[in-house]
Structure 1
Amino acid sequence: MAPTPLSAATPLDAPSADSVAPGAVALSPRLYSADLAPTRAANRTWGRYSLFALWTNDVHNIANYSFAIGLFALGMSGAQILAAFALGALVIYGLMNLSGYMGQKTGLPYPVMCRISFGIHGAQVPALIRAVIAIAWFGIQTYLASVVLRVLLAAVAPGLRELDQDSILGLSTLGWITFLGIWSVQLVIFAYGMEMVRRYESFAGPVILVTFAALAFWMYQRSGFSITWSTGEGYSGSTMWLKVLGAAALWVSLYGTMILNFCDFTRNCPDRRTISVGNFWGLPVNMLGFAFIAVVLAGAQFSIDGKLVQSPTEIVASIPNTAGLVLACLAFLIVTVAVNIMANFVAPAYVLTNLAPKLLNFRRAGLLSATIAVLILPWHLYNSPAVILYFLGGLGALLGPLYGIIVTDYYLVRRGRVNLPELYSESRDAAYHYRRGVNLRAVAAFIPSALIAIVLALLPAFESLSQFSWFFGAGLGALIHYAIAERHAEHPDVSGEEIAVDSAHH
């Protein structure tokens, strides 16, 4: 397959054989495909509501509620929990906007975005780190959704419980049926591409928002309209602020994956204001509402019987009528699928496409990543705290350094000036070829910052700092990369008509 020529004068449209011009860049089939090309302006259909709905699903998921309720169980008061989430939400909003603006301006998916700072081949490392985490969590979240479906089916048809008694590779017959059922539904949605993902997220957002609001009101009513705002005396003084800052930092860390590859979604947005407004309602406003609902759920249950719940599923299980139980379970299933697709399906699909553009497209790569998620038998991962902590936790600690390097390189080193055509070129003279396709300066910044982030995140001796490991990693990665780049005057060697993306085009 011969390289496809691309003119630098076509900044946003996907490159094609028709875009031949003097001085055109020859595209390498190992780096370019239609799915990896910048999003065409005509295809940018993600509006403010799309982003709001996206975040509604991601914020109001069962795992996040378990995290927030856990803070209540640890002794933080309702006001302290609200303060922690407000602070964390503002930080996430700022970080997510930085990542999102990059995607909107360039139209690039995350693996191609990584080529700017790490090189056309070195980009495979940060891309694969994100993909491995996503594939593992895709399998785990699919398994958790299948557990909810098993509860639902057993409530509607008690006779099915007989299929839940055996074990095949660690899962019962009913477990396999529900797991593969949820797995298949996600594949069907994904098979229709990002537009179907947008439509499903837009549908699921209001469903889960109404469900949790109704659940909170029901619990508030059961408690006699009087909830407990703290399980004890709570914290005060410097201890209180340390707890609030720690909880806020952990909340930011939970979004470390999406902060990295948010450009996979914003590449479909028409302008920056869409991102700013959509993120504002979807992140700080939405997260405050989420925190308030979590406090009501935990405080109402504690007020009723003095018990601490660990998850909203325990509250749903106490719903007295079958119809209410079924509706709540269906809502939980809808949001779990929505979260799984956005956070754990889109990213590996682009990454695997980036690995072999000639063999894989977006849909085939999605099917491959979903198949891998089944083969790893994710219920074993979920039931192994050591795997979650050391493997997924260790990989998660690498996300901060990656973000620091990528964002610093884009905004401070290159000042937002990117030569899009040369991101798909293997020419030694191309801007992102560096040394054999790898930017050793980015690697030199990544290694020490990653090691420090892993040590802080995993070693018991640094437990008091572990919740801040993402910030340490991101800050160190950013500082080291900027220092090295400035020392070697590493600025984009493009000017005038060669600049494929610059403010003049927007």
Structure 2
Amino acid sequence: MDLSQREKLKKDLQISEDLLPTKQEERTWKAGNFASIWMGSVHHVPAYASIGGFFVLGLSAIQVFWVIMVAAAILAFVLIINGHAGAKYGIPYSMLLKTSYGIKGAVLPGLLRGCIAAVMWFGLQTYAGSTAVTILISKFWPAYLQLGGDFRFFGIDLPGLISFTIFWMINVLFIFGGINILGKFTKILSLLIYIVFGGMAIWAIKLAGGIGPILDYTAKGIEGNSVLVFMGCVTAILATWAAPITNVSDFTREARTAKDQIIGQSLGIVITYILFAVASISIIVGSEIAFGTPIWNVLDVVDRFDSSFAIILSIVTICLTTLSSNVTANIFPAGYQLAALFPKKLNFQTGGLITAILAFIIMPWKLMENSTSIFTFLGIIGGLLGPVIGVMLADYFIIRKKELNLFELYSEDGQYFYKNGFNPSAYIATVVAGGIALIGQFVPFFKPLYDISWFVGTFTAFGLYIILMKLTKKRFGEIRPH
């Protein structure tokens, strides 16, 4: 898209600059930026807790290691291929979605990922990070924990509310800093991650009496089909990444070249997950050997350190990894999606700020009181995002052969208009694949499908979309409004 076309779109459609393809001279992210961007999304409290669940299922330390590495390899591959369009054309996820779902049809899957899931996770991640802020402040000011006495604001005490507000405001600052600030921030954070979580692993290994006892850890044994359990654990890791996989083009659009995002994401995901595997397994198994009970919460690990400096450094790093995950997986996709929904009224900053405000209004500390319903809801959203990924990949690689017409994409009545602005094939594939992936949650007979729901949803939607598009002859360039 040349300069004259950009200016014409901005004038005729009054579209935000944030939604237009990133100019080549503004694409500054190198492999190192991509290698560091996802580190905060790997090392966070819920991720370590999930590994503890794998041991509960009966997996050994070696089996858990291979679960993590298989998931990491698949994750890196999917991030790279779904990020191809962003690197090639410089377009955000909210615009890429229109090529498969239609100019108007992109609204629903966009809302699902960019708004509903983002707001929920923004609130929950901010609350999780605020608990670390409370611990950090109390280390310097013990009386902080007694502020307000019995005061409660819809279920949260005054110290918790103050900590949440502080951490929320820090997140908001990144909205106005932009994506380039995030790239610089994660480069600094990457060093801290290796120091802190590497240190935790060394501490746990020493507690266990060396690496030998950890490797020799005797699991209780897997009950049922071991292959299905193994793949179910892989699915659990991938499901937590369903949202970032969907909107990865929001980041790859900043890549200098396709090679930068390929090398950067490959090394960043795989190397980070090697450290994560070593640290999580060492901490959980090492603490069980030393204390008789596994420690799944890294904040509990930090609390056992005998050095104030180590405690402070570790808590600060955990806060920063939570912040990085929140900004990467929630703020940016929500900001771009809202800007795409209301291009004449909102830009990225206002969209991100609305997301942050909504995340505060939903009072995530109240949502945490009923974790079963919340995570069931988020699990359903994750199960539906798999099919969205499948549709996007099938459309871009199989139907369109990686060729997009950018000017038509930004036109309100171009070849991506489909039928009345919607692509029925995409919606049918998404709903059917999502139903198949999630039915096991409600019908016990189909539980094996639910256990590997991400794979079922993604591959079913991928194949079904191709079949439907070929049957209806809705190929690239053939659908125009009447």
Q: TM-score range by the shorter chain?
A: over 0.9
Aligned with 2:156: secondary structure? coil
Shift of residue 105 of structure 1?
0.9
Separation of aligned partners in 1, 2:282 and 2:471:
53
Alignment-derived partner of residue 6 in structure 2: 16
Shift of residue 230 of structure 1?
6.3
Structure 1 pair 187/458, CA: closer, same or farther in 2 (3 Å)? Answer: farther
Structure 1 pair 122/324, CA: closer, same or farther in 2 (3 Å)? Answer: same
Shift of residue 26 of structure 1?
9.2
Separation of aligned partners in 2, 1:114 and 1:14:
24
Shift of residue 220 of structure 1?
1.7
Shift of residue 453 of structure 1?
2.0
> Which of residues 139, 148, 154 in structure 1 aligns to 2:132?
148
Indicate conservation of the 8 Å contact 2:438/2:450, yes or no. Answer: no
Alignment-derived partner of residue 276 in structure 2: 290
Alignment-derived partner of residue 192 in structure 1: 177
Indicate conservation of the 8 Å contact 1:205/1:335, yes or no. Answer: no
Shift of residue 68 of structure 1?
1.5
Which 10-residue stretch deviates more, 260-269 or 322-331? 322-331
Alignment-derived partner of residue 211 in structure 1: 196
Separation of aligned partners in 2, 1:462 and 1:320:
49
Separation of aligned partners in 1, 2:17 and 2:431:
33
**2:353 maps to 1:367:** yes
Shift of residue 386 of structure 1?
3.4
Alignment-derived partner of residue 45 in structure 1: 28
**2:77 maps to 1:94:** yes
Equivalent residue letter for 2:183:
R
Indicate conservation of the 8 Å contact 2:240/2:382, yes or no. Answer: no
Alignment-derived partner of residue 434 in structure 2: 450
- Residues 421-465 of structure 1, C-alpha deviations (whole Å, 9 max, x = no match): 1111112xx111112211122122222112222213455443333
Which 10-residue stretch deviates more, 142-151 or 442-451? 442-451
Query: 1:396-411, aligned counterparts within 5 Å?
Result: 396-411=382-397
Indicate conservation of the 8 Å contact 1:393/1:457, yes or no. Answer: no
Structure 1 pair 416/183, CA: closer, same or farther in 2 (3 Å)? Answer: same
Which 10-residue stretch deviates more, 414-423 or 381-390? 381-390
Separation of aligned partners in 1, 2:10 and 2:173:
36
Equivalent residue letter for 2:203:
W
Query: 1:471-486, aligned counterparts within 5 Å?
Result: 471-486=455-470
**2:230 maps to 1:244:** yes
Shift of residue 96 of structure 1?
1.0
Alignment-derived partner of residue 116 in structure 1: 99
> Which of residues 248, 251, 260 in structure 1 aligns to 2:246?
260
Aligned with 1:358: secondary structure? coil
Indicate conservation of the 8 Å contact 1:164/1:175, yes or no. Answer: no
Alignment-derived partner of residue 174 in structure 1: 159
Alignment-derived partner of residue 70 in structure 1: 53
Shift of residue 486 of structure 1?
1.3
Structure 1 pair 209/461, CA: closer, same or farther in 2 (3 Å)? Answer: farther
Which 10-residue stretch deviates more, 163-172 or 393-402? 163-172
> Which of residues 302, 305, 308 in structure 2 aligns to 1:319?
305
Shift of residue 188 of structure 1?
1.1
Aligned with 1:179: secondary structure? helix
Separation of aligned partners in 2, 1:347 and 1:215:
32
**2:68 maps to 1:85:** yes
Alignment-derived partner of residue 105 in structure 1: 88
Aligned with 1:258: secondary structure? helix
Shift of residue 135 of structure 1?
1.0
Shift of residue 467 of structure 1?
2.4
Structure 1 pair 237/391, CA: closer, same or farther in 2 (3 Å)? Answer: closer
Shift of residue 159 of structure 1?
1.1
Separation of aligned partners in 2, 1:382 and 1:459:
26
Indicate conservation of the 8 Å contact 1:114/1:127, yes or no. Answer: yes
Shift of residue 28 of structure 1?
5.5
Aligned with 2:421: secondary structure? coil
- Give the TM-score normalised by the residue count of structure 2: 0.94
**2:319 maps to 1:333:** yes
Aligned with 1:397: secondary structure? helix
Unaligned runs of 5+ in 1: 1-8, 20-24, 495-506
Q: Higher helix share goes to which structure? A: 2
Shift of residue 237 of structure 1?
11
Separation of aligned partners in 2, 1:458 and 1:64:
26
Separation of aligned partners in 2, 1:462 and 1:378:
32
Shift of residue 14 of structure 1?
9.0
Shift of residue 238 of structure 1?
8.0
Aligned length: 475
Separation of aligned partners in 1, 2:4 and 2:24:
9
Alignment-derived partner of residue 220 in structure 1: 205
- Give the TM-score normalised by the residue count of structure 1: 0.89
Structure 1 pair 236/184, CA: closer, same or farther in 2 (3 Å)? Answer: closer
Separation of aligned partners in 2, 1:368 and 1:262:
21
Alignment-derived partner of residue 147 in structure 2: 163
Equivalent residue letter for 1:215:
M
Indicate conservation of the 8 Å contact 2:27/2:254, yes or no. Answer: yes
Indicate conservation of the 8 Å contact 2:367/2:374, yes or no. Answer: yes
Structure 1 pair 458/333, CA: closer, same or farther in 2 (3 Å)? Answer: farther
Separation of aligned partners in 1, 2:121 and 2:294:
27
Shift of residue 38 of structure 1?
0.6
Separation of aligned partners in 1, 2:52 and 2:386:
25
Which 10-residue stretch deviates more, 155-164 or 84-93? 155-164
Query: 1:409-448, aligned counterparts within 5 Å?
Result: 409-427=395-413, 430-448=414-432
Indicate conservation of the 8 Å contact 2:154/2:366, yes or no. Answer: no
Separation of aligned partners in 2, 1:369 and 1:236:
42
Aligned with 1:357: secondary structure? coil
Alignment-derived partner of residue 448 in structure 2: 464
- Residues 349-376 of structure 1, C-alpha deviations (whole Å, 9 max, x = no match): 0111111111111111111100000000
Structure 1 pair 223/182, CA: closer, same or farther in 2 (3 Å)? Answer: same
Which 10-residue stretch deviates more, 374-383 or 230-239? 230-239
Separation of aligned partners in 2, 1:381 and 1:458:
22
> Which of residues 249, 253, 259 in structure 2 aligns to 1:273?
259
Aligned with 1:345: secondary structure? helix
Shift of residue 231 of structure 1?
5.6
Unaligned runs of 5+ in 2: none
Which 10-residue stretch deviates more, 99-108 or 199-208? 199-208
Separation of aligned partners in 1, 2:93 and 2:295:
38
Equivalent residue letter for 1:426:
E
- Residues 442-496 of structure 1, C-alpha deviations (whole Å, 9 max, x = no match): 12222211222221345544333322111111111111110111123322229xx
Indicate conservation of the 8 Å contact 1:397/1:450, yes or no. Answer: yes
> Which of residues 221, 224, 227 in structure 2 aligns to 1:235?
221
RMSD of the alignment, in Å?
2.1
Aligned with 1:290: secondary structure? helix
- Residues 206-244 of structure 1, C-alpha deviations (whole Å, 9 max, x = no match): 212221001111222233325434664443798443332
Structure 1 pair 476/79, CA: closer, same or farther in 2 (3 Å)? Answer: same
